Chain A
Amino acid sequence: MIRNIINLGDAAAYCDFGPEVNQEINKNVIKYFRNIKDRNIRGITNITPSYNKLIISFDLSVTKFTEVKKLIENLEIEEKDENLKKMIEIPICCDEGFRVDHKRLENLLKIKFEEILDIFFHKEYFCYMTGFIAGMPFLGDLNEQLRAKRLETPRVKVPKGSIGLTEQFCNIYTYESPGGWNIIGRTPLDIFDKKNQDFPALINPGDKVKFKKISKDEYDRFKK
Chain B
Amino acid sequence: MTDLKNNFFLIERAGIHTTFQDNGRQNLNHIGIPVSGVMDKRNYILANSLLKKEQNSAVLEFAYQGPLLKYTGKKIYVAVTGNVQFQIVKNNGETINGEAYRVYLIEDKDQIDIQSTFSSVYGYLAISEDFELDKIWNSISTNTKAKIGSNNGEKLSNDQKIYINHNNRDRALTKLNYVNSKINYLRVITATNFDYFLEKSKKIFFNETFTISKLTDRMGMRLEGHNIENFKNTNIKSEGIVKGVIQVASDGNPIIMLADHGTIGGYPKIANVISADFDRLAQLVPGTKIKFQEVSLEEAEKLYEIYNLETNNLVNQII
**Judging by beta carbons under 8 Å apart, are B275 and A60 in contact?**
yes
Known: A7-B297, A8-B192. A48 touches B264 (CB 8 A): yes
Bound complex: CA A129 to CA B136 (Å): 23
B: interface residue count bin: 35 or more
Chain B residue with minimal CB distance to A7?
B297
Bound complex: CA A204 to CA B30 (Å): 9
Residue in A132, A174, A197 whose Cβ sees the most chain B Cβ within 10 Å:
A132
Interface residues of B in 145-180 (CB under 8 A from A): 146-148
A2 close to chain B: CB less than 8 A = no
B126 close to chain A: CB less than 8 A = no
Task: State how many angstroms separate the Cβ of B190 from the closest Cβ of chain A.
Answer: 10
Residue in A9, A53, A135 whose Cβ sees the most chain B Cβ within 10 Å:
A9
**Judging by beta carbons under 8 Å apart, are B240 and A49 in contact?**
yes
A108 close to chain B: CB less than 8 A = no
Bound complex: CA A54 to CA B192 (Å): 13
Chain A residue with minimal CB distance to B266?
A132
**Judging by beta carbons under 8 Å apart, are A130 and B31 in contact?**
yes
Beyond A46-B29, A55-B242, A197-B137, list 17 extra A-B contacts (CB 8 Å).
A9-B244, A12-B242, A46-B28, A46-B30, A46-B240, A46-B242, A50-B238, A50-B240, A51-B239, A55-B239, A55-B240, A132-B238, A133-B32, A134-B33, A135-B32, A192-B32, A204-B31
Known: A7-B297, A129-B264. A48 touches B238 (CB 8 A): no
A136 close to chain B: CB less than 8 A = yes
Interface residues of B in 280-312 (CB under 8 A from A): 297, 300-301, 304, 308
Q: Which residues of A contact B300 (CB under 8 A)?
A: 9-10
**A interface residues, tally (CB under 8 Å):** 46
Task: State how many angstroms separate the Cβ of A96 from the closest Cβ of chain B.
Answer: 29
**Judging by beta carbons under 8 Å apart, are B264 and A50 in contact?**
yes
Task: State how many angstroms separate the Cβ of B89 from the closest Cβ of chain A.
Answer: 38
Which of A48, A52, A134 is the one whose CB lies under 8 Å from B237?
Answer: A52
Interface residues of B in 217-250 (CB under 8 A from A): 237-242, 244-245
**Judging by beta carbons under 8 Å apart, are B245 and A9 in contact?**
yes
The 27 listed contacts between A and B (C-beta, < 8 Å) are: A8-B191, A9-B244, A14-B192, A46-B26, A46-B28, A46-B29, A46-B30, A47-B29, A47-B30, A48-B29, A49-B240, A50-B264, A52-B237, A53-B239, A55-B242, A129-B264, A130-B30, A130-B31, A131-B32, A132-B263, A133-B32, A133-B146, A135-B32, A192-B31, A197-B137, A200-B33, A204-B31
**Judging by beta carbons under 8 Å apart, are A134 and B31 in contact?**
yes
**Judging by beta carbons under 8 Å apart, are A55 and B241 in contact?**
yes
Known: A131-B264, A132-B263. A45 touches B26 (CB 8 A): yes
Interface residues of A in 128-186 (CB under 8 A from B): 129-136, 138, 174-175
Which of B35, B189, B273 is the one whose CB lies under 8 Å from A46?
Answer: B35
Residue in B33, B136, B146 whose Cβ sees the most chain A Cβ within 10 Å:
B33
Bound complex: CA A132 to CA B239 (Å): 9
Query: Which A residues are closer than 8 A to B by beta carbons?
Result: 6-12, 14, 21, 33, 37, 44-55, 57, 60-61, 64-65, 129-136, 138, 174-175, 192, 194, 197, 200-201, 204-205
B46 close to chain A: CB less than 8 A = no
Chain B residue with minimal CB distance to A61?
B308
Q: Which residues of B contact A6 (CB under 8 A)?
A: 192
Q: Which residues of A contact B239 (CB under 8 A)?
A: 48, 50-53, 55
Task: State how many angstroms separate the Cβ of B273 from the closest Cβ of chain A.
Answer: 7
